[in-house]
Amino acid sequence: MQTVNPAMTGKQSIAASSDNIASAKEIMLLNADLVLTDTKNNADAYRRTNSPALCVYFSNFEELKKSVKMIGDALGGDAIAKAATYNDYLDKNLKLIQDKLGDAKNAAKPTVYYVDGQSGDSIYVTSGSGTMQEDWIAKAGGKLATADTIKGARKEVNAQKLLSLNPDYIVVGGLNQAAAYKTLMSDSSLSGLSAIKNGKVYLIPQGILQWDEFGTEAAWQAVWLAKTIYPEKFADVDLKGMVTGFYKTFYNYDLSSGYADDILAGKNSPTAK
């Protein structure tokens, strides 16, 4: 994010609390024209101090599109058209997947276990039904392994549960995904999992933000997973080239070949190992 927009490094950081959530008073003192937050409670608290606030949380692609439109409408001017362009772009990506999957949409869907490495290296923090993860896995022609037993995000399971799920694929996301991946692959008690035995464990791409959960690059997450699960059906999809074009169109940034490779490899910064 700071590579694409270096001006961010000079911006004031105001969240002093341990949970990194700015208080309503801190926001009020900024006299901000607009506050974006991912929880309704925070938005309500900010509004009570006369700070205009929008809750832009999303748990599926339709809600993501609504959030983008809402921000575009709030900013006004060229942002309205740019938000519409993005939503059209997202729809085209999702249609691309549907068209490529063809008959696979009606076949038995491979199960995918999601490791949420956002807050640490645990391999047992995951997501269930009603989440963004369930939506992009379903759109990609898979089934979230925990969808029938867990509801909501950042839920914890145990080793016995993971072993019983025995997923076909494991995808590892979040800011600390490299550490979570290392934990997973070094745990001998899990070496019998089908995904590990068959080499079907993958780091999720990370760019401006993590593709699996936050931000506009979620438009690529389902495409990436569909290409991962069904490589033969997506052999002609140049994901790297399309992502490079996306950065130019929406971020006005010329993404280098090396940086594009880093993003697709799941590195959380250009200097990460």
Tens of each residue's pLDDT in the chain, 273 residues: 888 999 988 888 776 565 667 788 888 888 889 999 988 998 998 899 888 999 999 999 999 999 999 999 999 999 999 999 999 999 999 999 999 998 776 678 999 999 999 888 999 999 999 999 999 999 999 999 999 999 999 999 999 999 999 999 999 999 899 999 999 999 999 999 999 999 999 999 999 988 998 889 998 999 999 999 999 999 999 999 999 999 999 999 999 999 999 999 998 777 776
Indicate whether 12 belongs to any domain: yes
Number of domains in the chain: 2
The last residue of a domain, from among 55, 76, 91: 55
Residue 48: DSSP 8-state: H
Q: How far apart are the first and last CA of the chain?
A: 17
DSSP classification of residue 22: -
Question: Residue 25: its pLDDT value, please?
Answer: 83
The pLDDT value recorded for residue 241 is 96
Q: What is the DSSP string of 163-221?
A: HHH--SEEEEESTTHHHHHHHHHH-GGGTTSHHHHTT-EEEPPBSSSBTTTSSTTHHHH
Domain-located, residue 87:
no
pLDDT at 15: 66
Residues 49 and 114 in one domain: no
Same domain, 124 and 242: yes
Residue listed under structure tokens 């898979």 = 142
Residue ranges making up the domain that contains 143: 110-264
Tell me what pLDDT residue 81 has.
97
